[in-house]
Amino acid sequence: MSAARLSLHNSSNGSTLVELLNVVKVYSTAAGEFTALDGISLQAGRGEFVGIIGKSGAGKSTLLNMITGVDRLTSGEVLVNANGSPVSIHKMSEDSIALWRGKTLGVVYQSFQLLPMLTIVENITLPMDLCGRFNPKQSRQRALELLRLVEIEAHADKLPSQISGGQQQRVAIARALANDPPILVADEPTGSLDSVTAEHIFEVFEHLVGDLGKTIIMVTHDQTLAPRFTRTLRIADGELLQPESETETIE
Amino acid sequence: MSTTHARLRVDLSQQAMSTPDAMIDMHGVVKTFRSSAGEFTALKGVDLTIERGQFVSIVGKSGSGKSTLLNMITGIDHPTQGRVVIGGTDIYTGVTESQRSRWRGRNLGIVFQFFQLLPMLTLLENVMLSMDFAEMYDFDERPERALEMLRLVGLEKFANKLPVLVSTGQQQLAAIARAMACDPPLLVADEPTGNLDSRSANTIVDLFEELSRRGKTVVMVTHDPSFTSRTTRNITIADGLLVADGNHKS
Amino acid sequence: MKPRWRKVIHDLLDNKGRTLLVVLSIAVGVFSIGVIAGAYQIIGTDLRASYSAVKPANIELRMAKNFDDDLLEMIRNRDGVADAEARRAFNIRVRTPGTEKWITLDMYVFDDFEENSINLLIPIEGQTIPEKREILLEQDVLDHIDTGVGRSLEFQLADGSTKIMPVVGIVQDIGGSAGDFLASPTSYVTKDTLPYLGQPELFNRAVVTVSERGDDIAHIRDMGAMLKDKVEKNDNLVVRMRFAETHKHPLADTIKAVLGILLAIGVLVVFLSSSLIANTLSALLNQHLRYIGVIKLVGGQRRQVFLMYLTLIMAFGVLALLIAVPLGGQGAYALASFAADKLHFNVLGYRIVPAAFIIQILVGLLVPLIAGLAPVRSGSRITVLHALSGGIADEEKQAKAGKERLPWFDWVQVKATRLLAKRGVHIPRPFVISLRNTFRRKSRLMLTLFTLTMGGAIFIAVFNVRVTLHDFMGVIENYFVADVTVDFDKPYRLDKVQQDVLKMDGVQHVEGWQFASAEMLDDNKHMIQNISLLAPPTDSRLVDPMMVSGRWLRVDDVRSLAISEGVLKYYPNLEPGDSLNLKIDGREEVWQVVGIFKFMDREGILGYAPFEYIAEINGLVNRSASYRVVTDRHDRHYQDAKAEELDKYLRDRGYQVRLAEAGRASLDKALESLDILVTLLLIMAVLTAIVGSMGLTGTMGMNVLERTREIGIMRAIGADDRAVMRTVIAEGVFVGMISFGLAIILSIPFTYVLASIVSQAVFQSPIPIIFTYMGYAIWLGMVLALSALASILPARNAARLTIREVLAYE
């Protein structure tokens, strides 16, 4: 994969990029209160590929929503240090989070979440447009390069419905990289793909971490992936089982 | 399980008389999906015969074609090639989708993994609805029979509740009651326990066992190995082909 | 193009049905506003322009006696008179040679066509200046008789002889026929043709223009009073005067009032279409929640989302304008032309009315903007979590099952069904689905019901207004019960006429009437207004008045008077028993008002007076020139035949018959013009009904779209195409029935409001309001048909869904 011409900053310098401090999330439902996250603290450094493994209902998606700022936490703090000074994202307004997220953090979901009415390349230029990072001409150029990176530039002008699930997930990854964020967050990105396709997608993530220095936080229920992360955390009932337990680093 | 099985009026005579012919008979069934993303063959020539009264589990990974196979049996989708004969009826040759719906209402009970019940109807009404559509039983007889079905699954207390007021497991049980309402010889279930805690799941498999013992044919797609041991036959599907077929107890 | 605008374009084009629905619903409102605002403007200016262009008379004086050039010269030379012309006006019977049917024309004789400078004739075809023994026809005549330029007409004179004259031209007479719905069609000949038609070469009418303050009606009335005075000092008698402003058509106020009503309904249509837009847009935003979530996820801010959807709304508006503005312009012109044709004026040609154009653009852009603002605002505020829930917020979704309490409305519905079931009433479940589905989207249901109900209520109200108007015309008819009216050129003895007429087959009753004109005076003996006095025999069976107060005339009454309600305009405090100063036959007298009755004010200030007294004033004791005949049947057809027969019968006996006409003739004409008004109202009502049913179609479409999974379940458990369609259509029809119930209630105030506005505009007096089952029955049929139709398309779409699509396994 050639990233030479593409401006993707190698952000790997080992310092702490994401830090969660005693994050608690409580949902109130008709049936009563439900604690989804019970005091989670963790750190992710630049260039790490962090895997969070847990069963469904363990709180892993909620944890991810805390990092992306999609959901509000009940207590605690999430600090993201993308450009020198840590930002406490839950102190920002909904709108500021959206803009911040667009520039700092790419999100990939199990169900792709592409806009069906836009072509592949438009889906990727959309975040650039919304965050005003690149002008329209640059945007298309950059989008095509990103598509090349995930190896589906041939489908650039197709609609999402015209390509397979694995291809859609590649587009979603390219979109997550649109504004060149240092962090990628993925929620079961291979969950709805067959094993061969899932392997391809995982390789793309590994390439992003290994060759481009991106930081990736991925949640999954797939135990077999554990050895392939640079660090694996296990979550159950809203708590981390082995907080900060270092596992073998691939590189 | 409730002890009211005896009150379930299951028509056994039909099954008893026609035991020699198979409940399900599939020959060379191929299913190819065409989309602009290309062709994808989900079933690559399936031959399958299931006798009356069998309790069959179908297992396979996601994407293996097991849901597609089930859709071929229920008439929800139609095969690209091949023949499917259910209870002696060729359900695809010269039959419109609308006619298949009608046939299904009278001959087949279906249980899905999610979203079973119509949210605007009470459990009792949901069960009666299938009788209304199939025009089975006298109009005045339907409430009584529906209540009986709910009693069978232990939900008679909730008969007049809307689905939102009961748990997911109870919704699933009500769906089984509904599937049995028209007393079909064949019950098809797609991951009926996939969404449930293990206790509720057990209740449902118990119920299937009981129905099978009473002569119903039950076909269940599942991924839970703890249930496959309880079926009379276990079929494994991978990449659109049947790869294993084992009888546990015949 | 930036991808976000790309998305807006796709949203516009990808769901063409929805776009069409929104665009059409905006367009209907814009169209109706455009038509009415445009017509209002066109009619206003063109009526004024084409009316004032013919130099209309400010004063028309109708004399009792013939006069010559000297009197005209006298009038012309008064101060303040710009010009004056003399006319001779009389009725004449005419037919196409070789045909049977006679019609009556008003014949106008001009002193000199070349010098004509008041109430100018506008050329339509052929000549505008006839020679001796040639005739010009007003274009209206062509509606009544088959003729044309170059053909001849046969005229019947009072003595029964016939004359033939060629038609040399067709003209339009805007000034002459203005303001009189009931006027006969007119024709024109030169003065030297008069002897040929057995008429003296003298005049009986003067038309006058004032030299200044031609738009000051008070000044014109003063001038008229002065001229009348002068004429009467010259030994003539003015029986009737008409006044008009130079630049204002006599019917301008009525027309504006009618257009005002139409405008009000047009505004309502816009209002209704805006609720339809609000409905569709909130459904659209609902469907787009996930997309909004994705946009926000990848960096989109609230303002950006807000602007994207606002742009989408504006695009809907622009598309609607593209359709509705040209159509509205055409519609405005068509409506103006229609009015012009009926009211005898000319439209100056097709044009774009800037004011209407601007109003349309404002309505087309602002209404959807306002209607869409709330859904777009709340849509753009949605959080990513909420928008994507299902995809990422699994834990929260679990909470959905196992709720403890139901919304009260659901509870009531379930309870009601159970109560019915306990009483042995079991509703089939597919129908239960339809009933409960109806109430699932309550705000959407409200908006749908609102539009459909409004449409229905207006529709029903228009029918009620129609019978109200017709019923009132029936009241008016009771003042003209006679089947045939016979006017002679000279008075005949009552007993002789009665004796002769009663001999004819089918005639049951004959009575002679007297007529007189009087002036109503104020306390200082100044004339306020003319009043026409009708004097039927006191025991007449042919007047069945609708009394407002007091009583009708009695046999022993002498200088007693029953007056029409309109008189109260001049004497607001007048009550039965009060006295009234009248100047009659040149003498000032004190009369007693015995009763006040209802009548159309427009058709004049009327009073009924005792026959004997008026006969004495007229010097016609035991004689009359005007008779009313009752026949054994009363339909219009029979009346026409009898009038014809009577005419011939009397002429054969040597009577000089001027006119024998069916009693209903003028009434039918008035009804015809009322029906034009009702038709216009009905068109507006149908427009509102269309908006209403479009609203229902949209709602049913959205409902089906949101319930595809439920439809899939229904199919899976045995529902065939028909069962699925029945469920959807039953829901639509049920909504229609609810709206019908509401429309019944709402139609009552609507009827009162609409009827009183219309009666004020047309009759200038309030009239009793009548309700008819007709509107209700027709609307019931329509709403059933519309709601069934509105749900058929969504129902078919629902039936077409295959279960695999619907249950979309993941």
Res C805 pLDDT > 70: no
Whether C683 and C753 map to the same domain: the answer is: yes
Which helix (H) or strand (E) segment holds residue B223: the answer is: none
State the count of interchain CB pairs (< 8 A) between B and C.
Answer: 113
Res C808 pLDDT > 70: no
**Residue C286 burial (10 A CB sphere; 0-12, 13-18, 19+):** middle
In a domain, C151, yes or no: yes
Q: Alpha-carbon distance C103 to C407, whole Å? A: 74
Res C401 pLDDT > 70: no
A87-88, strands of its sheet edge to edge: A32-45, A16-29, A75-80, A87-88
Residues from chain A that touch B38, judged by Cβ atoms under 8 A, are 164
Q: Could you give the angle at the alpha carbon of C288 between the alpha carbons of C282 and C290, nearest 5°?
A: 135
Full residue range of the structural domain in which residue C647 is found? 481-662
What's the pLDDT score for residue C318?
94
Q: Does A168 touch chain C (CB under 8 A)?
A: no
In a domain, C24, yes or no: no
Residues from chain B that touch C719, judged by Cβ atoms under 8 A, are 101, 105, 133
Residues from chain B that touch C418, judged by Cβ atoms under 8 A, are 160
Strand pairing of C484-493 and C623-631? antiparallel
Closest CB to C301: pick one of A68, A98, A117: A98
What is the number of structural domains in chain B? 1
Q: Alpha-carbon distance C190 to C164, whole Å? A: 15
Q: Alpha-carbon distance C620 to C612, whole Å? A: 9
Q: Does C433 touch chain B (CB under 8 A)?
A: yes
* pLDDT tens per residue, range B215-243: 889 998 877 777 777 888 888 888 888 88
Domain A16-240 part of CATH 3.40.50.300: yes
What CATH number is associated with residue B132?
3.40.50.300
Q: Which residue has the tokens 């990939």?
A: A108
What's the pLDDT score for residue C810?
33
Res A125 pLDDT > 60: yes
Say whether A115 and C293 touch across the interface (CB within 8 A).
no
Whether C163 and C201 map to the same domain: the answer is: yes
Cβ atoms of C607 and C592 within 8 Å: the answer is no
Which positions ≥6 away from C118 have C-beta within 8 Å?
Answer: C55, C56, C57, C83, C84, C85, C175, C207, C208, C209
* pLDDT above 90: percentage of residues in chain A: 18
Choose from A29, A162, A170 for mutation: most chain B CBs within 10 A: A162
Res C416 pLDDT > 80: yes
Which of C 291-310 lie inside 8 A of A, CB atoms?
A: 291, 293-304
What's the pLDDT score for residue B248?
58
Whether C647 and C780 map to the same domain: the answer is: no
Q: Alpha-carbon distance A173 to A187, whole Å? A: 12
Q: Alpha-carbon distance A226 to A248, whole Å? A: 10
Res C393 pLDDT > 70: no
Mean pLDDT over B66-93 rounds to 86
List chains adjacent to chain B, taking adjacency as at least 3 C-beta pairs closer than 8 Å.
A, C
Other beta carbons within 10 angstroms of residue C384's beta carbon come to 27
Q: Which residue has the higher pLDDT, C427 or C742?
A: C742
Res A247 pLDDT > 60: no
What's the pLDDT score for residue A237?
83
Mean pLDDT over C80-99 rounds to 87
Q: Does A111 touch chain B (CB under 8 A)?
A: no
Q: Alpha-carbon distance A67 to B202, whole Å? A: 38
What's the pLDDT score for residue C346?
79
Full residue range of the structural domain in which residue B205 is found? 53-64+94-247
What's the pLDDT score for residue C644?
82
Q: Does A163 touch chain B (CB under 8 A)?
A: yes
Closest CB to B139: pick one of C426, C799, C802: C426
Return the sign of the alpha-carbon dihedral for residues B69, B71, B73, B78: negative
What's the pLDDT score for residue C604?
65
Res A217 pLDDT > 90: yes
Whether C692 and C791 map to the same domain: the answer is: yes
Report the DSSP beta bridge partners of residue C493. Answer: C623
Closest CB to C300: pick one of A98, A122, A176: A98
Q: What tokens were used for B181?
A: 């309402």
Q: Alpha-carbon distance C752 to C759, whole Å? A: 10
What's the pLDDT score for residue C738?
94
* pLDDT above 70: percentage of residues in chain B: 86
Res B2 pLDDT > 50: no
Other beta carbons within 10 angstroms of residue A48's beta carbon come to 22
Q: Alpha-carbon distance C121 to C169, whole Å? A: 11
In a domain, B36, yes or no: no
* pLDDT above 90: percentage of residues in chain C: 9
Say whether B167 and C440 touch across the interface (CB within 8 A).
no
What's the pLDDT score for residue A23?
92
Q: Alpha-carbon distance C380 to C288, whole Å? A: 10
Residue ranges in chain B assigned as alpha helix (H): 13-17, 66-74, 97-107, 123-134, 142-152, 168-180, 198-213, 225-228
Whether C489 and C465 map to the same domain: the answer is: no
Distances (CA, A) of A68 to A104, A123, C3: 10, 20, 23
A251 min Cα distance to partner chain C (Å): 30
Mean pLDDT over C767-778 rounds to 88
Mean pLDDT over A173-187 rounds to 91
Q: Alpha-carbon distance C642 to C645, whole Å? A: 5
Cβ atoms of C760 and C257 within 8 Å: the answer is yes
Cβ atoms of C469 and C762 within 8 Å: the answer is yes
DSSP letters for C703-716: HHHHTHHHHHHHHH
Residues from chain B that touch A167, judged by Cβ atoms under 8 A, are 37
Output the pTM of the full model: 0.75
Q: Alpha-carbon distance B197 to B194, whole Å? A: 8
Could you tell me which of C574, C562, C544, C576 has the C-alpha nearest to residue C609? C562
Coil, strand or helix at C663: coil
Other beta carbons within 10 angstroms of residue C168's beta carbon come to 18
Res A20 pLDDT > 70: yes
Res C395 pLDDT > 60: no
List chains adjacent to chain A, taking adjacency as at least 3 C-beta pairs closer than 8 Å.
B, C
Strand pairing of C203-210 and C59-67? antiparallel
Query: What residue in C sits closest to B134 (Cα-Cα)?
Result: C718
Q: Does A162 touch chain B (CB under 8 A)?
A: yes
Q: Alpha-carbon distance C268 to C159, whole Å? A: 60
Res C103 pLDDT > 60: yes
Residues from chain A that touch B37, judged by Cβ atoms under 8 A, are 161-164, 167
Q: Where residue C230 falls among pLDDT bands split at 50, 70, 90?
A: confident
* pLDDT tens per residue, range B122-181: 999 999 998 888 888 888 888 899 999 899 888 888 888 888 888 878 888 899 899 888
What is the number of structural domains in chain C? 3
Whether C656 and C692 map to the same domain: the answer is: no
Q: Across chain C, what does the average pLDDT equal? A: 83
Whether C623 and C743 map to the same domain: the answer is: no
Highest mean pLDDT among A114-128, C91-105, C738-752: C738-752
Which positions ≥6 away from A141 have C-beta within 8 Å?
Answer: none
Q: Does C146 touch chain B (CB under 8 A)?
A: no
Which positions ≥6 away from C334 have C-beta within 8 Å?
Answer: none
Which positions ≥6 away from C100 have C-beta within 8 Å?
Answer: none
Res A2 pLDDT > 90: no
* pLDDT tens per residue, range C179-227: 665 667 889 999 888 888 888 888 888 889 998 888 888 888 888 888 8
Query: What residue in A sits closest to C382 (Cα-Cα)?
Result: A94
Q: What tokens were used for C625?
A: 């020139």
Res C534 pLDDT > 60: yes
* pLDDT tens per residue, range C426-464: 788 888 888 888 888 888 888 889 888 988 998 899 889
Other beta carbons within 10 angstroms of residue C194's beta carbon come to 18
Q: What tokens were used for B167?
A: 């748990």
Closest CB to C429: pick one of B115, B117, B129: B129
Closest CB to A30: pick one of C14, C392, C399: C399
* pLDDT tens per residue, range B174-218: 998 998 888 899 999 888 877 677 777 888 888 888 888 888 899
* pLDDT above 90: percentage of residues in chain B: 7
Residues from chain C that touch A136, judged by Cβ atoms under 8 A, are 1-2
Total residue count of chain A as it appears in this document: 251
Residues from chain A that touch B63, judged by Cβ atoms under 8 A, are 194
Mean pLDDT over A96-102 rounds to 87
Q: Alpha-carbon distance C450 to C468, whole Å? A: 26
Query: What residue in A sits closest to B39 (Cα-Cα)?
Result: A164
State the SS3 of A181-213.
CCEEEEECCCCCCCHHHHHHHHHHHHHHHHHHC
In a domain, B215, yes or no: yes
Cβ atoms of A107 and A185 within 8 Å: the answer is yes
Q: Does A104 touch chain C (CB under 8 A)?
A: no
Could you tell me which of B242, B201, B244, B235 has the C-alpha nearest to residue B54? B235
Residue ranges in C63-177 assigned as alpha helix (H): 69-76, 174-177
In a domain, B197, yes or no: yes
Highest mean pLDDT among B62-66, C599-603, C688-692, C771-775: C771-775
In a domain, C262, yes or no: no
Residue ranges in C15-157 assigned as alpha helix (H): 16-53, 69-76
DSSP letters for C466-528: HHHHHHHHHHHHTT---SEEEEEEEEEEHHHHHHHHHTSTTEEEEEEEEEEEEEEE-TTS-EE
Q: Across chain B, what does the average pLDDT equal? A: 81
What's the pLDDT score for residue C602?
59
Q: Does C378 touch chain A (CB under 8 A)?
A: no
What's the pLDDT score for residue A24?
92
Whether C510 and C656 map to the same domain: the answer is: yes
Q: Does A237 touch chain C (CB under 8 A)?
A: no
Question: Given C216, C245, C274, which residue is the final one in a domain?
Answer: C245
Res C617 pLDDT > 70: yes
Other beta carbons within 10 angstroms of residue B229's beta carbon come to 10
* pLDDT tens per residue, range C645-654: 888 888 888 8
Q: Does C217 touch chain A (CB under 8 A)?
A: no
What's the pLDDT score for residue C404?
60
Could you tell me which of B160, B215, B165, B217 has the C-alpha nearest to residue B187? B217
**Residue C318 burial (10 A CB sphere; 0-12, 13-18, 19+):** middle
Choose from A194, A197, A199 for mutation: most chain B CBs within 10 A: A194
Say whether A163 and B63 touch across the interface (CB within 8 A).
no
**Largest separation between any pair of C-alpha atoms in chain C:** 107
Report the DSSP beta bridge partners of residue C106. Answer: C91, C186
In a domain, C534, yes or no: yes
Whether C498 and C644 map to the same domain: the answer is: yes
* pLDDT above 70: percentage of residues in chain C: 95
Which of A 45-64 lie inside 8 A of C, CB atoms?
A: 56-57, 59, 61-62, 64
Mean pLDDT over C370-390 rounds to 81
In a domain, B15, yes or no: no
Say whether B104 and C718 touch across the interface (CB within 8 A).
yes
Q: What tokens were used for C369?
A: 């903007």
Cβ atoms of B53 and B24 within 8 Å: the answer is no
Q: Does C402 touch chain A (CB under 8 A)?
A: yes
Q: Across chain A, what does the average pLDDT equal? A: 83
Which positions ≥6 away from A232 have C-beta within 8 Å?
Answer: A50, A51, A52, A53, A226, A245, A247
Residue C206 φ/ψ, nearest 5 degrees: -130, 135
What's the pLDDT score for residue B21?
67
Res C479 pLDDT > 80: no
Least confidently predicted of B54-58, C121-125, C232-236 = C232-236
In a domain, C611, yes or no: yes
Q: Where residue C746 falls among pLDDT bands split at 50, 70, 90?
A: very high
Residue C87 φ/ψ, nearest 5 degrees: -135, 155
Say whether B37 and A194 touch across the interface (CB within 8 A).
no
Coil, strand or helix at A43: strand
Which helix (H) or strand (E) segment holds residue C662: the answer is: strand C657-662
Cβ atoms of C610 and C522 within 8 Å: the answer is no
